[in-house]
């Protein structure tokens, strides 16, 4: 939602200077009840399993969220309701989208706030019906405005997913055609290189310069083959072959395939008996890509940390590096196919990772971080998606 749309939304619900004044006057009355309102809100969250599953940090996280909700209430009733307000509220909405909060929770949350705040107004202004009506009306208006902002962030996310899907479909169709056309000549080059090497060996010819160029051609053919495979994977609509797999074994497989430089120290959080309901080859491909990016971001020398935990009916993996991080201005583009900041990059790696996660019904995100980059991968259990499998508990 931009500033013009925000102004239009305020006009549509008749939210004006009178509404703002009524809310500011109501603030000291309502502030005395904030603790009760916040406790009631999170008490209800803990009673609903689907909502409680979004909170993974236990009582400490709930305590932090309660403080955040008090600050949210303060700004709700004091404003100012300007572009900074819009941006701050939009950021909250994007967090809700990122953690997978369903839109129904947004409606019920706003309704619960509406009821509690309007109850406070009815009690606080029982002897002043005119003021009471003005406050109740203003509370309803500002919460309608909040809901419009929040729902717009879901709309933005949906549109971006649709655009990404359309881009991948177009690229996939082109990739399938180009990939098949290039495989034949590359196969011929590869076979010819093998035959040349065999011939040189039989003739007993050893020429270091010739060997160097022979190996260089072979390396580039292999590199081209990987690009073609990635292009074809983008075009492929193969459903994942899901199977309950040990997270520790999956990470070990990815580390072996990634073949990271010796200068990269990898720290794997104690994983215990965690399992993941996924196509092991696909998810290891994702991890290999993230590990390779982490190594490159640190110039082949640095630290990478891998964690795993259960979250909202699935398994979350994170890969964190100590590199320079991703500039804010390009964070929203890093999963776009063909977008790259590397001199020799193809822009296919992260796009393919996202395609793999979407095929699993999961998510891949770049988490906010002050240092380095943290990528979060979430894979839901197949039973959460309505699959026929009944995965064992992890």
The band of 390, judged by pLDDT with boundaries at 50, 70 and 90, is very low
How far is it, in rounded angstroms, from Cα 158 to Cα 164? 10
Q: Do 113 and 247 fall within a single domain?
A: no
The band of 386, judged by pLDDT with boundaries at 50, 70 and 90, is low
Q: Do 213 and 119 fall within a single domain?
A: no
Q: What is the CATH number of the domain that holds 280?
A: 3.30.565.10
| 35 compared with 228, residue with greater pLDDT | 35
What residues contact residue 323 under an 8 Å CB cut-off, 6+ apart?
Answer: 294, 297, 298, 302, 372, 373
What's the average model confidence in pLDDT over 196-216? 85
Domain assignment present for 71: yes
pLDDT on residue 389: 39
The band of 343, judged by pLDDT with boundaries at 50, 70 and 90, is low
Token representation of residue 200: 């040189």
Q: Domain boundary at 133, 163, 193, which?
A: 163
Residues of the chain above pLDDT 90, percent: 35
What residues contact residue 189 under an 8 Å CB cut-off, 6+ apart?
Answer: 217, 221
Domain assignment present for 393: no
pLDDT higher than threshold 60 for residue 392:
no
Angle between helices 208-235 and 129-203 (to 10 degrees): 140
What's the average model confidence in pLDDT over 372-388? 77
How far is it, in rounded angstroms, from Cα 98 to Cα 312? 13
Angle between helices 3-12 and 129-203 (to 10 degrees): 150
Q: Domain boundary at 183, 210, 235, which?
A: 235
Q: Do 10 and 141 fall within a single domain?
A: yes
Range of the domain at 67: 3-163
Domain assignment present for 262: yes
Of 47-56, 170-179, 270-279, give the lowest mean pLDDT range: 170-179
pLDDT on residue 345: 66
pLDDT tens-digit series, residues 109-144: 889 999 999 999 999 999 999 999 999 999 999 999
How far is it, in rounded angstroms, from Cα 169 to Cα 164? 9
Q: Is 298 helix (H, G, I), strand (E, B) or coil?
A: coil
Q: Do 208 and 155 fall within a single domain?
A: no
Q: Do 363 and 220 fall within a single domain?
A: no
Q: Do 254 and 228 fall within a single domain?
A: no
pLDDT higher than threshold 60 for residue 391:
no
Q: What is the mean pLDDT of the chain?
A: 84
pLDDT higher than threshold 80 for residue 162:
no
What's the average model confidence in pLDDT over 277-300? 90
Domain assignment present for 390: no
Total domains, the chain: 3
What's the average model confidence in pLDDT over 370-393? 69
Q: Do 19 and 145 fall within a single domain?
A: yes
pTM score above 0.85: no
What's the average model confidence in pLDDT over 321-340? 82
The band of 93, judged by pLDDT with boundaries at 50, 70 and 90, is confident
Q: Do 52 and 79 fall within a single domain?
A: yes
pLDDT tens-digit series, residues 176-196: 677 777 778 888 888 998 898
Domain assignment present for 394: no
pLDDT on residue 153: 87
Q: What is the CATH number of the domain that holds 54?
A: 1.10.490.10
Q: Do 159 and 173 fall within a single domain?
A: no
Q: Do 248 and 332 fall within a single domain?
A: yes
The band of 172, judged by pLDDT with boundaries at 50, 70 and 90, is low
Q: Do 8 and 103 fall within a single domain?
A: yes
H-assigned helices in the chain: 3-12, 17-31, 34-47, 49-52, 58-78, 83-98, 103-124, 129-203, 208-235, 247-258, 280-297, 349-359
pLDDT higher than threshold 80 for residue 201:
yes
Domain assignment present for 139: yes
pLDDT on residue 388: 41
Q: Do 274 and 343 fall within a single domain?
A: yes
pLDDT on residue 387: 46
pLDDT tens-digit series, residues 344-369: 666 778 888 888 888 888 889 898 87
Q: What is the CATH number of the domain that holds 227?
A: 1.10.287
Q: Domain boundary at 213, 235, 257, which?
A: 235
CB contact at 8 A, 382 and 260? no
Count of other CB atoms within 10 angstroms of residue 200: 15
What's the average model confidence in pLDDT over 365-377? 88
Domain assignment present for 11: yes
Domain assignment present for 113: yes
């Amino acid at each position: 939602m931009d500033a013009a749309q925000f102004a239009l939304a305020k006009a549509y619900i008749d939210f004006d200077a009178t509404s703002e004044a009524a809310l500011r006057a109501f603030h000291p009355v309502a502030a005395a009840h904030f603790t009760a309102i916040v406790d009631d809100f999170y008490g209800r969250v803990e009673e609903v399993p689907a909502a409680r599953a979004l909170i993974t940090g236990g009582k400490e996280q709930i305590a932090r969220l309660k403080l955040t909700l008090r600050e949210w209430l303060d700004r709700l009733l004091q404003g100012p309701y300007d572009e900074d307000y819009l941006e701050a509220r939009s950021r909250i909405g994007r967090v809700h989208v990122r953690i997978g909060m369903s839109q129904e929770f947004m409606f019920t949350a706003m309704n619960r706030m509406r009821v509690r705040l309007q109850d406070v107004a009815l009690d606080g202004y029982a002897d002043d019906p005119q003021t009471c009506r003005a406050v109740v009306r203003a509370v309803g208006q500002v919460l309608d405005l909040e809901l419009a902002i929040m729902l717009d962030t879901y709309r933005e996310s949906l549109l971006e997913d649709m655009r990404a899907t359309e881009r991948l479909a177009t690229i996939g169709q082109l990739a399938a055609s180009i990939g098949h056309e290039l495989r034949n000549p590359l196969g011929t080059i590869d076979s010819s290189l093998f035959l040349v090497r065999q011939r040189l060996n039989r003739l007993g010819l050893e020429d270091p310069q010739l060997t160097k160029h022979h190996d260089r051609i072979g390396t580039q053919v292999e590199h081209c083959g990987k690009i073609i495979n990635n292009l074809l994977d983008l075009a492929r609509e193969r459903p994942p072959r899901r199977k309950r797999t040990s997270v520790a074994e999956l990470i070990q497989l990815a580390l072996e395939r990634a073949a990271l430089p010796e200068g990269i120290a990898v720290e794997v959080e104690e994983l215990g008996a965690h399992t993941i309901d996924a196509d092991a080859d696909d998810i290891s491909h994702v991890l290999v890509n993230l590990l390779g990016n982490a190594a490159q971001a640190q110039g082949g020398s640095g630290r990478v940390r891998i964690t795993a935990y259960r979250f909202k009916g699935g398994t979350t993996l994170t890969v964190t590096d100590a590199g320079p991080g991703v500039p804010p201005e390009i964070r929203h583009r890093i999963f776009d196919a063909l977008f790259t900041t590397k001199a020799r990059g193809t822009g296919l790696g992260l796009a393919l990772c996202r395609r793999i996660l979407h095929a699993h019904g999961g998510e891949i995100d770049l988490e906010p971080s002050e240092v380095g980059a943290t990528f979060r991968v979430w894979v839901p259990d197949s039973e959460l998606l309505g699959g026929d499998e009944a995965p064992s508990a992890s």
